[in-house]
Amino acid sequence: MPQRDELARDLVAASRILAHEGVCDAFGHVSARHPDDPARYLLARARSPELVEFEDIEEYALDGTPLSPGARKPFLERFIHGALYEARPDVMSVVHSHSRTVVAYSVVQERLRPVMHSCATIGAEVPVWDARRCFGDTTLLVCDMPMGRDLATGLGGGNAVLMRGHGSTTIGRSVREAVYTAVYLEVNASLQERAGRLGEVTFLSPGEVEKINARLLHGLPGEGFGRAWDYWCRRAGVPERAAS
């Protein structure tokens, strides 16, 4: 199977996983950099994640121009993806979502910080990007490349960024890694909220975050991102071939 098709099947699986794990509802999307052309990326047509099929995956230039023949309605916020691929050559996949508990941390002073080892991929502290800072009153949607590029600046060299009053975006060096961070960003938000009700929270140190992420990156088969991916595929009813 061509690598492009394998990646497209991963995006279908990722869409189903994000929906099943409560990260995406009717909205949200996941993309992957094209395996043969770094100036392109793969993203579904505008459709709810749980409904995405293989035939829905289309190709885009980094500036958001649809490149697939007979391209159908694209996501308005595809500029999130293109701008991050443009800014970060190391980024191979992007997830944008509006998971509920995460959004709450985008509108308060308290910052999301990892409280559990599995959540270390979110980084030592998750930054918050506020569209109003540069663009004034907007719909809060990232609807063009200038906004996408400003969001990329807000993300910096990290793996996750919150978007004030909107949602969050995570990145990865693979689809599995980007999905893992998106799922555990929501898990961490929920745990941090609960722990805060009980008393002062002890967060992971930057050194712990670094060591955990190094272990995940070099995980053996059946560990880390791969094990989580296989588990989520089974829960979401994704065919085993997509989980391999």
Active site residues: 77
Q: Do 95 and 182 contact (CB within 8 A), yes or no?
A: yes
Q: Which residues pair with 167 in a beta bridge?
A: 163
Q: From CA 113, how far away is CA 76, in angstroms rounded?
A: 30
On whether the CB atoms of residues 48 and 12 are closer than 8 A, the answer is: no
CA distance linking residue 47 with residue 44, whole number of Å: 7
Burial of 221 (C-beta count, 10 Å sphere; 0-12/13-18/19+): exposed
Q: What does the DSSP assignment read for 183-221?
A: HHHHHHHHHHHHHHHHS---PPPHHHHHHHHHHHHTPPT
Tokens for 202, please give them: 């002890």
Q: How far apart are CA 163 and CA 151, in angstroms?
A: 8
Which one, of 79, 91, 76, lies nearest residue 148 by Cα?
79
